Amino acid sequence: MNLRISKRLQQDRDCRRKRLSIKRSSPNINGVAKDIKKTLLEPTLESGDMRWNYVLVFLLFLFLFGVLVFNLSSLQIVQGEEMLAKSENNQIRIRTIPAYRGVIFDRNGKQLAINEAAMNVYLAMEHYLDQEGLINTELVEKTSNTLGGILGDNWENTTQEGNEQFNTISEKVYSVHSQSSYFSEILIARDIDDETAIKIKAMSEELLGVYIDNGSKRFYPENEVLSHVLGYTGTVSVEDLSELDYVSSTDVIGRTGLEREYDKDLLGQAGEIAWEVDALGRTISEEGYVIKEPVPGKNLYLTIDLEVQKQLYEVIKEGVKEYDAQGGAGIIQNPQTGEIVAIVSYPSYDNNLFVGGISSSEYSKLINDPRNPLLNRAIAAQVPPGSTFKTLVAIAALDAGAITKDTVYVSRRGYTFSSGAPFQDYRNMAYGPLNLIDAISVSSNIYFCELIRNWDMNELVPYLEAFGIGRYTGIDIPGEAPGRVPSPENKIALANTTSPWLDPVWYPEGDSCNSVIGQGITLVTPLQMVNWTSGIANEGTLHTPRVGDYFLNEDGERETVGSDPREVPFGDSIKIVKEGMWSAVNGPRATIRTLSGMAVEVAAKTGTAEFGALNKDGTYENTHAWTTSFFPYDDPKYTMTIFLEDGGESINAVRVSRQMIEWMIKEDLI
C-alpha cells in the first residue's frame, strides 16, 4: 500500500512540473493543458502509456506551430523591406511575338517569297526616358558606344524611310525618337549572327533595354526574274504607323509589288509574350509566358507560272542585248480570265538587296543606272504604241459606221494634207487600193489617215477610253501608269503646262492622222496593250488583269482574289479586226509572216513607234519595237505583248515573240 501511494505521489509531482513547463512556454494552450491534466488524473489499466502518447503529439504540434510563427515574423519584419523593394523593382514586360509572313507561291505551288530565321536587335526607349519623357543622353551615349563596339558596321545606319544616314547608334536613337513617340522600340541591327548575339547577351548589364528578337527575314529565290512583281519588304516608318492601323513599330511590311498590295493579309497578327524583368530591364525569368499566340499571315498563290516567267525573262533579256535596246517588257495573259501568266520588265534588280535595308552604294548604283532597272516597264512605261493602235481605231470606226469592212482608200506616194504637208506609208510604200482587212495586214498609215479625215477625232476618243486608254487597268501590282488619250483637250492642256513646245491648237488633219497611227501625244503601257488585245481575242470582254489568285490560311480555308470583267459592246466590229490580225500573219498580204508556219495559228499586229529627234533626212533616229498577238486563233488561250524600248523596228519584237511561242509549243503549254 505504501509503495502504491509513493508511486502515485511521484506521478502527481511529475504532472505538475509538466503543466508548469507547458504553461510557461505557451500561455495560450491552457485548454489543452487542462485536458491533459484530466486525462492523467483519470487512470485506467494502461493510463501511463496513453498519457505519454498525448504528450508527444502535443510537443510535435508545438514545434511546427513555432516554426510557422518564426518564418512569418522573418518575412514580415526581418526581410520585409527587401521583399517590398523587389516587388517594386521587378515588373512584367510585354513584347510582341512577330507573326510569320505568308509565303508566296506560283500557280503550281513553287515558292517565290519565303521566310528565313533571323535575329534582330532592338532598343527599348522606355529605359532612356525620364518621367517627363526627356532622353537621358548620357545613358544613350554609353549604350551606343558599347553596342557599336560589338556590332561594328553591321547596324541599321538609316531611318526606316532610308532617307537619312547616321554615324552612330545614338544619332539614330535621337532622330527616330524625335520623329515620333510611336517608336517605343527602335531597330538597331538586323539579321545578326550567333557570335554577335552571344556578345550582346553577355553584356546585358551594360546594355540597358537592349534585347534580341528571334524573328525572320524575307528571301526571294528568283530575285531579278520576279522582283518587279513581288517587290520587297521593309521596316515600318512614321508615316506607316500614322496611316496603317494594323502595324506596330517592330513590324516588317510590304514596300513595293505584291508585298505591298497584299500586305495586311500577308503580315498576320503578332502575338504577345510576358517576361519578368528587374529595374534595369534585364530579364529575370528564363522563359516568357505567352499571353497571345501569333497568327501567321495567309499564303498567297499567284496566277504566274514560274517556268513561263523565267523563259519570258530570258528571251526579253536576249532581245534587249541583241537589238541594243534600252530595255524591254513582255506580258502573257489568259484572255478568257484576265490572269497574268508571266509579266517581265528588263533590266531588273535583285530585291533581296532591299531586305534588311540596302546599302547606300548599292542603291546609288541602281538609281544612277541609265537603263533605269527600278522602273517596271511592263506596267509603267508610257510610250507611243505605233501601228498596234490601229486595231482600236478600226473597231471604233466600224462600230460608229465611219467605215465598213469593204471601205476602200488608196495608198500612194505623194500623199499630202490640205496644207500640202506630206504624209506617207512605211518606207514611202504605195500599196494601192485597200479595204480594211488589207489595211490592217499591210499596216497602212494612209488608210487610217483617210479614215479619220472623213470622221471626227472627238467621236473616236470615247471608244479609246472604253478600251482603257488613259486609264488604269487596276492590276494588283502597285505603280501602274495610265497612259494618255490623244484628244484635242489633252494636247492643249499639255501645251499650257508640261509641254510648252507643243502648239496649243489641235490640227484636224496632222494631229488626228498622227494619233490614229499611234504617234503624236498617244501613250500606252505594255499592260494596256495586252489587255485590249485580250478584249479583241475574246470578242468583247475587258478583264481586270491580276497576278494574285487566292489566299490559303493555316486552317486550309481558301479566299479567291476576284476581279470584275467589263463588257465592251463592239462584238461584230471586233470580229472583223480579229480577221485582219489573222490576215497580217497568215493572209495573202501578210507582213508578219515570221509568226506563221508554227504548230498553232497566231493573229498579231506590230508597231514601230517613232520618237526623239529627226535626222537630216527628216526621219526619226529612234524607234520602239512592238508586237501584240493571241493564239491559238480559233480558241485563244494566250495573249502576248512584247516591247523593246528603243529596240529598232517591229520585226525585232516579232522575232522575240516567235522564240517564246515556239518554247511554249515545245513545253506542251498550248
Tens of pLDDT, residues 159-204: 544 556 788 988 888 888 877 666 778 888 888 888 999 999 889 8
Q: Is 46 inside any structural domain? A: yes
Q: Is 321 inside any structural domain? A: no
Q: Is the pLDDT of residue 604 over 50?
A: yes
Q: Are 513 and 413 in contact (CB under 8 A)?
A: no
Same domain, 77 and 172: no
Same domain, 39 and 98: no
Same domain, 158 and 270: yes
| CA angle, residues 311, 317, 320, in degrees to nearest 5 | 140
Question: Where a domain ends, among 302, 323, 348?
Answer: 302
Q: Tell me what the pLDDT averaged over the chain comes to.
A: 87
- CATH number of 451's domain: 3.40.710.10
Choose the most confident range, by mean pLDDT, from 9-18, 110-119, 229-238, 658-667.
658-667
- pLDDT tier for residue 283 given thresholds of 50, 70 and 90: low
Q: Please, which residues bridge with residue 277 across strands? A: 91, 283
Q: Please, which residues bridge with residue 330 across strands? A: 344, 642
Residue 41, SS3 per DSSP? coil
- The model's pLDDT over 58-83, given as tens digits with 9 standing for 90+, comes to 677 677 767 666 665 665 555 555 55
Q: Is 367 inside any structural domain? A: no
Same domain, 490 and 602: yes
Same domain, 55 and 118: no
Element (H, E) at 108: none
Same domain, 70 and 211: no
Separation CA 238–CA 249 (nearest Å): 9
**Looking only at Cα atoms, what is the longest distance across the chain?**
165
Question: Where a domain ends, among 82, 112, 136?
Answer: 82
Q: Is 353 inside any structural domain? A: no
Q: Are 640 and 531 in contact (CB under 8 A)?
A: no
CA-based nearest residue to 257, from 234, 280, 231:
231
Other Cβ atoms closer than 10 A to 352: 17
The predicted structure's pLDDT at residue 47: 52
Q: Is the pLDDT of residue 117 over 80?
A: yes
State the number of CA atoms in the 13 A half-sphere of 166 facing the CB: 21
Q: Is 564 inside any structural domain? A: yes
Element (H, E) at 244: none
| CA angle, residues 111, 114, 118, in degrees to nearest 5 | 160
Q: Which three cell numbers stand for residue 382?
A: 508610257
State the number of CA atoms in the 13 A half-sphere of 595 facing the CB: 33
Average pLDDT over residues 637-661: 98
Q: Is the pLDDT of residue 5 over 50?
A: no
Q: Quote the strand ranges of 278-427, DSSP E.
A: 289-292, 299-302, 327-333, 340-346, 409-411
Q: Is 184 inside any structural domain? A: yes
CA-based nearest residue to 589, from 430, 447, 406, 443:
443
| Total domains, the chain | 3
Q: Is the pLDDT of residue 663 over 70?
A: yes
Separation CA 486–CA 186 (nearest Å): 50
Q: Are 226 and 342 in contact (CB under 8 A)?
A: no
Helix locations, 262-348, DSSP H: 263-267, 306-322
Element (H, E) at 191: strand 185-192
For the CA atoms of 574, 575, 576, 577, the dihedral, rounded to the nearest 10 degrees, stands at 50
Same domain, 97 and 78: no
Separation CA 464–CA 512 (nearest Å): 13
Q: Is 263 inside any structural domain? A: yes
CA-based nearest residue to 219, from 364, 119, 117:
117
- The model's pLDDT over 341-358, given as tens digits with 9 standing for 90+, comes to 999 999 999 999 998 778
Same domain, 597 and 619: yes
Q: Is the pLDDT of residue 1 over 60?
A: no
Going by DSSP bridges, is the β-strand pair 603-614/299-302 parallel, antiparallel, or unpaired?
unpaired
Same domain, 51 and 192: no
Separation CA 505–CA 489 (nearest Å): 9
Q: Which three cell numbers stand for residue 105?
A: 507561291
- CATH number of 208's domain: 3.90.1310.10
Same domain, 511 and 566: yes
The predicted structure's pLDDT at residue 22: 40
| 8-state DSSP, 329 | E
Residue 560, SS3 per DSSP? strand
Question: Where a domain ends, among 41, 62, 82?
Answer: 82
- The model's pLDDT over 380-418, given as tens digits with 9 standing for 90+, comes to 999 999 999 999 999 999 999 999 999 999 999 999 999
Same domain, 101 and 76: no
| Segments forming the whole domain that contains residue 124 | 92-302
Q: Which three cell numbers stand for residue 44?
A: 485506467
The predicted structure's pLDDT at residue 7: 45
Same domain, 442 and 551: yes
Q: Is 326 inside any structural domain? A: no
pTM of structure:
0.81
Other Cβ atoms closer than 10 A to 560: 10
